[in-house]
Every structure is written in structure tokens, then in C-alpha cells.
């Protein structure tokens, strides 16, 4: 009989996985034999290795598009193996290393083109993937994609596509407490400082239009996106998907895996210390500083953050805002992706065109 952590994982994560690069048949095939949470990471790593093998075959045959797709899917599978596997840091970090390697191998084959960007920050580095509809033709409106507590840049290929199809570049990043930065940089509410470093780099690139920068963030990344919107940075428009208003106030709703991940990625020594740090992640005193276009999306069936968090954010802003509450939406609204992902990309395209 499967243990409770595994049952929670299998029962709740399929929509998120399958709308972010995991084949539905693979999800069932990989998770069905499992009987304990401790088997999770290795099972997904084994699945990732299958796609690495396919990538190498495609690469050897000169099929660049297939090679890129297989490498990217392998990166996603490695990522989903490690994403909440914080009880075994050695196994988690090994899987993460493989995820980063697989994505790096995919970049030369991506259409549109992709490049790895490293940004010095806090004695360590922030890493992201920049993709432009065309490499050097002109300056592109650019959307910064921000992960949440357990997501990383390796999870964002399908999110990127929605923006690319509408003529926007994307920068999918790992910030403090996320992905490649999580080991050296702890979770922080000070995303004005993070954004300053990221924008300084992006605006120095010849094909990024510094007057047309947007931000999209999911889950805890939705909170970070809102904090960026409240800063004085040159951000035109922001999308906050399923983010909390105050993480500490929602702490008791979080499942044990999520609490443990926050403890590790906030560099806390105990769950009690982690809960104290969660209260630092608040929009109180910041929401009223949001004066530029903000789109907030929340699912009414979100188990982690109640939709009233979104209503509170909208009520306190002072700029043009729009709130979309999805009746059937779960956390991140992954189960109703068709109801918001195209709309988000259209909305952002309108804002960055100057015609919003």
C-alpha cells in the first residue's frame, strides 16, 4: 500500500505535470508501480534517462528539433523527480544536476533560439534561459517568467510557447531559493533587489526592448511577481497566477512536503523557524504601490492559497487591475490551463504592444 505522502503526490500533481511537458501515459506508467515516497525521485530519473537516450539518437541522426524536444523533456522529468524531494538532499541534488545538464544540452536545438544567462547576485548567481522569436533581428518585448517554491526554469517550456507565438521573448529564471540558486541563496521577499539585478542584465542585451518588459509568476512566483510590480523598476505589466498575499497566514493549509521544501529553501533550521520566515513574504504595505497593469488569476478550489488572497491583493492596488477567479481551478489552475494560459499571453501581448 502506498504511503500518505505518495498518495498525496499521485492524486494531486498529474494536471500540473501533464501541462508542463510530461506525457500523460508516462505519468501513469511511472507513478503506478510506486509504493513509497522514497521511490519517487529515482522513478522519474529513470523516465528521464529514456528521453536522454532518444535525444542522443536524434542528435546522431541530425534531427535537431527532435533532439531538443527529447533533451527538454528529460530535463522536466529530472526536475519533477527532485522538486519536493528535500528529505534526501544527495539524491535530490544529483537529479537536479541532471536536469540542468539536460536543459543545457537542449538549448542549441531550440526553436526559437535559446541562450543561458548567468547574473551575479549575492555572492552567487541567478541563472535563466533567454529565448527570442528571432535571435538578432530587432528588440523584442520580453516577459520574465518566475517559478514558485518547487518549480524551476526547467518546467517552463510550454509556458514559453504561449508568449513566443504572440511575438514576445521570454526569460525563464531561477531566483533565490529556486533551482540553481536554491543552494546558495535563500528565499527572500526582496524581489525589488532581485529584479534590479535581472533587469540590469536584460536591458544590457541588444535584442531586449527595455521599454517593453512584462512579468509572469506562478504560485509563490505570483507573490514575487506582485512584489516586482510594486517596485520602481521599469515593468510595464504583471501577471500573478495563484500567488499568496501573505504566505505565513496560509501556512497551516500547506501540506508536509511543501512545508519541508520551504524550510530547506528558506535555509531554516526547523519548521517553526520556517513558519516565522513565511510571514516575511507579505504584500502588506506593497500592494498599494502597484500602479501599472496587473492581471491576477486564482482557482476557487486552490488547496494551498484561498482565492480571497487574490481578492485582497486586487482591493489594495492603485492601478488598472483585473481579477479572474476560475470556478474549477486548483492550485496554479493547472487543471483548467485552457481557460487562462492563452488569455494571459494575449493580455500580455496587448500590454507590451502599447495598446493595452
Q: What is the mean pLDDT of the chain?
A: 96
Contact 41, 75 (CB under 8 A): no
**Domains within the chain, CATH numbers bracketed:** 1-111 (1.20.1440.110), 114-356 (3.40.50.1820)
Residue 157 scores a pLDDT above 50: yes
Residue 1 scores a pLDDT above 50: no
Q: Which of 47, 69, 78 is nearest to 154 (CA)?
A: 78
Confidence grade of residue 80 (pLDDT, cut at 50, 70, 90): very high
Mean pLDDT score, 44-48: 98
**Global pTM value:** 0.96
Contact 131, 102 (CB under 8 A): no
**DSSP result, 164-217:** HTTT-EEEEEE-TTSGGGTTTS---S-HHHHHHHHHHHHTTSTTEEEEEEEEEE
Mean pLDDT score, 173-196: 98
**136 or 237, greater pLDDT:** 237
Catalytic residue ranges: 219
Contact 107, 116 (CB under 8 A): yes
State whether residue 235 is helix, strand or coil.
coil
Q: Which residues pair with 297 in a beta bridge?
A: 241, 324
State whether residue 348 is helix, strand or coil.
helix
Q: What is the pLDDT of residue 170?
A: 98
Q: What is the pLDDT of residue 8?
A: 82
- Tens of pLDDT, residue by residue over 83-136, are 999 999 999 999 999 999 999 999 999 999 899 999 999 999 999 999 998 756
Confidence grade of residue 356 (pLDDT, cut at 50, 70, 90): very low
Q: Which of 188, 230, 256, 257 is nearest to 321 (CA)?
A: 230
Q: What is the pLDDT of residue 95?
A: 98
- Please give the grid coordinates belonging to residue 108: 542549441
User: How long a stretch of residues is the chain?
Assistant: 356
- Tens of pLDDT, residue by residue over 2-24, are 588 898 888 889 999 999 999 99
Contact 31, 43 (CB under 8 A): yes
Amino acid at each position: 500500500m502506498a504511503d500518505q505522502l505518495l498518495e498525496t503526490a499521485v492524486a494531486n500533481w498529474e494536471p500540473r505535470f501533464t501541462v508542463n511537458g510530461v506525457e500523460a501515459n508516462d505519468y501513469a506508467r511511472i507513478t503506478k508501480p510506486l509504493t513509497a515516497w522514497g521511490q519517487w525521485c529515482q522513478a522519474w530519473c529513470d523516465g528521464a534517462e529514456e528521453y536522454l537516450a532518444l535525444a542522443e539518437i536524434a542528435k546522431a541522426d541530425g534531427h535537431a528539433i527532435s533532439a531538443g524536444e527529447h533533451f527538454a523533456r528529460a530535463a522536466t522529468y529530472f526536475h519533477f523527480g527532485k522538486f519536493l524531494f528535500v528529505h534526501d538532499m544527495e539524491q535530490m541534488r544529483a537529479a537536479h544536476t541532471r536536469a540542468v545538464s539536460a536543459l543545457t544540452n537542449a538549448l542549441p536545438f531550440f526553436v526559437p533560439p535559446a541562450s543561458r544567462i548567468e547574473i551575479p547576485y549575492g555572492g552567487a548567481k541567478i541563472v535563466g534561459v533567454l529565448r527570442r522569436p528571432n535571435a538578432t533581428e530587432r528588440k523584442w518585448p520580453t516577459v520574465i517568467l518566475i517559478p514558485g517554491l518547487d518549480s524551476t526554469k526547467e518546467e517552463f517550456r510550454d509556458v514559453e510557447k504561449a508568449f513566443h507565438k504572440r511575438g514576445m521573448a521570454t526569460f525563464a529564471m531561477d531566483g533565490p531559493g529556486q533551482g540553481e540558486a536554491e543552494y546558495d541563496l535563500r528565499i527572500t521577499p526582496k524581489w525589488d533587489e532581485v529584479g534590479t539585478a535581472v533587469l540590469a542584465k536584460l536591458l544590457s542585451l541588444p535584442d531586449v526592448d527595455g521599454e517593453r518588459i512584462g512579468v509572469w509568476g506562478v504560485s509563490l512566483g505570483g507573490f514575487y511577481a506582485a512584489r516586482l510590480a510594486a517596485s520602481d523598476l521599469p515593468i510595464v505589466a504583471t501577471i500573478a497566477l495563484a500567488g499568496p498575499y501573505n504566505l505565513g497566514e496560509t501556512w497551516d493549509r500547506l501540506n508536509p512536503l511543501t512545508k519541508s521544501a520551504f524550510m530547506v529553501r528558506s535555509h531554516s533550521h526547523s519548521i517553526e523557524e520556517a513558519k516565522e520566515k513565511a510571514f516575511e513574504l507579505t504584500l502588506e504595505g506593497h500592494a498599494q504601490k502597484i500602479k501599472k497593469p496587473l492581471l491576477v488569476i486564482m482557482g476557487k478550489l486552490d488547496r494551498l492559497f484561498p482565492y480571497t488572497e487574490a481578492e485582497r491583493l486586487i482591493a489594495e492596488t492603485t492601478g488598472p487591475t483585473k481579477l479572474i477567479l476560475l470556478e474549477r481551478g486548483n492550485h496554479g489552475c493547472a487543471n483548467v490551463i485552457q481557460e487562462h494560459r492563452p488569455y494571459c499571453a494575449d493580455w500580455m501581448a496587448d500590454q507590451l504592444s502599447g495598446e493595452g
